[in-house]
Structure 1
Amino acid sequence: MTTTTTTTAETVLDAGGVTMRFGGLTAVRSVDLTVNSGEIVGLIGPNGAGKTTFFNCLTGLYIPTEGRVTYKGTVLPPKPHLVTQAGVARTFQNIRLFSNMTVLENVLVGRHTRTKEGLWSALLRGPGFKRAEAESRERAMELLSFTGLAAKADHLARNLPYGEQRKLEIARALASDPGLLLLDEPTAGMNPQETRAAEDLIFAIRDQGIAVLVIEHDMRFIFNLCDRVACLVQGEKLVEGSPEVVQGDERVVAAYLGTPFEGAPGAEEVAEVEAAEAEASASAPADAAPDGGESTTRTTGPEKETP
């Protein structure tokens, strides 16, 4: 397990009492979670536990029915692009890249929240625009070097191997200079070598001062990576603590094995919540993806969790 590298912890993310209802169905119920500076925090739970729905509440894709989400003490606005601008970036379960754009161009798209040049500056292409463009390219190349993709800057994104597409999505998220990075199943569909590379990359991101919150189904990966782990079961936080505490909790083991425990909802209620989440996801507005990217799915990867 990794250890935190900072001595004075600042609360970067504070989610309090987050509840998300779809009609009369509750997908996330009164979840509290904090992420401090210098931390990697994991969010686990069986399929349909509400993990991605909770992520969507944190990043403005959904407006929580109840509760509040703050970033460094400021309440986050309920719009994805404003959340990104505030300092929170994310990746998605299904890769969302501009497949017909180059690797470099994809990362440059991620810089749009940090450039200040307006429409007229772009049309006139004056000195200010050219300077900002050069700075963006320089920063984008730094991130490609950081993620090991610099040699493929001019390649089309669709031609990258799957593991490198995952790295590119992370590089694009980092282009917005976030203080908090949310990763939704970053190793889904990866082979063991790609998974180890992803682990090293996340450690390196943390070492740059960026807090990380990660959803993952690979228990070995999550327990090696994280300082703290929270487990969601049917939208409620079951337990939170160190990896040793969580993996030794009998309720967590029961939840993953499908063994009922006291207070667990019945299969009928679970199915209703999953259906409501799927319907909400299908009817999400066009700006639901902050990057506006196309979705690239690996056919050999695991089945997508209902968001």
Structure 2
Amino acid sequence: MTTDTSTTDTPGGTPSRETVLDARGVTMRFGGLTAVRGVDLTVNSGEIVGLIGPNGAGKTTFFNCLTGLYVPTEGEVRYRGRVLPPTSFKVTAAGIARTFQNIRLFSNMTVLENVLVGRHTRTKEGFWSAVLRGPGFHRAEAASRERAGELLAFVGLAHKADHLARNLPYGEQRKLEIARALASEPGLLLLDEPTAGMNPQETRATEELVFAIRDQGIAVLVIEHDMRFIFNLCDRVAVLVQGEKLIEGDSATVQGDERVIAAYLGEPFENAPGAEELAEVEAAEAHAGATPTDPAATKENDR
């Protein structure tokens, strides 16, 4: 991966990590409803960070704010120190890629072609080069195919490169979506419920894949409802409840927090954030969404 993974040593000899993502005071309102309120979150190079919370907590809405699908009502999102543009394909070009809770592939394209779609933000050939199909175009196309093949091998799908995406089993479609996201050479990968609907063996394989992605130098932010998966995987975990960050810390800290337990059991706790009902949050998110015209990681509209 063409990702900057350099670190510097502090005076004490401990390596310091670069801040890849820095979200500050992110707030998203839909009319009079606040779905996300004042959320701060950082992700550093070499880290896997989890984002959990009950249904309707605002997790996917927060992801949409990070990736340019929504423009936050308040706050800002920085990637490697620069404020991100409020457009999804520019966010992808900057170095952030994502997958979606509901798989969004080009079902009538092959596995290889789906990954090639994710490469277009990293190719320099323009319109006339594509029309004239000169030597430069053919070199770029060959390089993209080579890289796509490497990514398919990385996720274990090289032997199905010529299969239609719609014919893949569910777990392999998830892998393909990850490979397509990786094709844009991100420095940060956002995964929205990557193990949803998977059996234990598929979940374990996904866990190993995410570790391998981290080892390639890519920071990872993941939403998931499988708590065992999250706590085995993540260096830090942040908890959203009714659109606000309740707590952030290591797995032991989060698992032992009584407020987290109460939130998942549906029990009220002192100073619980937010006043909106769960049904209102879900309805607002659904109303704000639209069917995407381009399911690639570069120009998508989330629900």
TM-score (norm 1): 0.91
| Residue from 15, 21, 29 that aligns with 2:23 | 15
Find the counterpart in structure 1 of residue 68 from structure 2.
60
Find the counterpart in structure 2 of residue 89 from structure 1.
97
Find the counterpart in structure 2 of residue 225 from structure 1.
233
Contact 1:38 1:207 in 2 (8 A): yes
Contact 1:230 1:237 in 2 (8 A): yes
Provide the C-alpha distance between the structure 1 equivalents of 2:61 and 2:93, rounded to a whole number of angstroms: 21
Find the counterpart in structure 1 of residue 280 from structure 2.
272
| Residue from 257, 262, 267 that aligns with 1:254 | 262
Q: Give the alignment of 1:43-54 within 5 angstroms.
A: 43-54=51-62
Superposition RMSD on alpha carbons, in Å?
2.1
Residues 1:10 and 1:268: Cα distance change in structure 2 (over 3 Å)? closer
For residue 188 of structure 1, what is the amino acid of its counterpart?
A: A
Contact 1:109 1:291 in 2 (8 A): no
Residues 1:129 and 1:289: Cα distance change in structure 2 (over 3 Å)? closer
What number of residue pairs does the alignment pair up? 292
Provide the C-alpha distance between the structure 2 equivalents of 1:46 and 1:217, rounded to a whole number of angstroms: 8
| CA apart distance, 1:270 | 3.0
| Residue from 59, 71, 77 that aligns with 1:69 | 77
Provide the C-alpha distance between the structure 2 equivalents of 1:116 and 1:221, rounded to a whole number of angstroms: 38
Find the counterpart in structure 2 of residue 129 from structure 1.
137
Residues 1:104 and 1:289: Cα distance change in structure 2 (over 3 Å)? closer
* SS state at 2:100 partner: coil
Contact 1:80 1:289 in 2 (8 A): no
Provide the C-alpha distance between the structure 2 equivalents of 1:268 and 1:32, rounded to a whole number of angstroms: 20
- Establish whether residue 107 from structure 1 lines up as the match of residue 115 from structure 2: yes
For residue 123 of structure 1, what is the amino acid of its counterpart?
A: V
Q: Percent identity?
A: 82
For residue 214 of structure 2, what is the amino acid of its counterpart?
A: R
Contact 2:104 2:295 in 1 (8 A): no
Provide the C-alpha distance between the structure 2 equivalents of 1:138 and 1:274, rounded to a whole number of angstroms: 42
Deviations 1:191-249 (A, max 9, x none): 00000000000000000000000000000000000000000000000000001100110
Contact 2:35 2:243 in 1 (8 A): yes
Find the counterpart in structure 2 of residue 37 from structure 1.
45
| Residue from 141, 165, 169 that aligns with 1:161 | 169
TM-score (norm 2): 0.92
Q: Give the alignment of 1:273-292 within 5 angstroms.
A: 273-282=281-290, 286=293, 290-291=297-298
Deviations 1:40-59 (A, max 9, x none): 00000000000000000000
For residue 263 of structure 1, what is the amino acid of its counterpart?
A: N
5+ residue gaps, structure 2: 1-5, 8-14
* SS state at 2:69 partner: coil
Residues 1:268 and 1:71: Cα distance change in structure 2 (over 3 Å)? closer
| CA apart distance, 1:266 | 8.2
Deviations 1:109-131 (A, max 9, x none): 00000001011100111000000
Provide the C-alpha distance between the structure 1 equivalents of 2:67 and 2:92, rounded to a whole number of angstroms: 8
- Establish whether residue 117 from structure 1 lines up as the match of residue 120 from structure 2: no
Find the counterpart in structure 2 of residue 244 from structure 1.
252
5+ residue gaps, structure 1: 296-305
Find the counterpart in structure 1 of residue 218 from structure 2.
210
Residues 1:145 and 1:266: Cα distance change in structure 2 (over 3 Å)? closer
| CA apart distance, 1:278 | 1.3
Find the counterpart in structure 2 of residue 199 from structure 1.
207
Contact 1:13 1:34 in 2 (8 A): yes
For residue 93 of structure 2, what is the amino acid of its counterpart?
A: Q
Provide the C-alpha distance between the structure 1 equivalents of 2:109 and 2:278, rounded to a whole number of angstroms: 40
Provide the C-alpha distance between the structure 2 equivalents of 1:211 and 1:49, rounded to a whole number of angstroms: 23
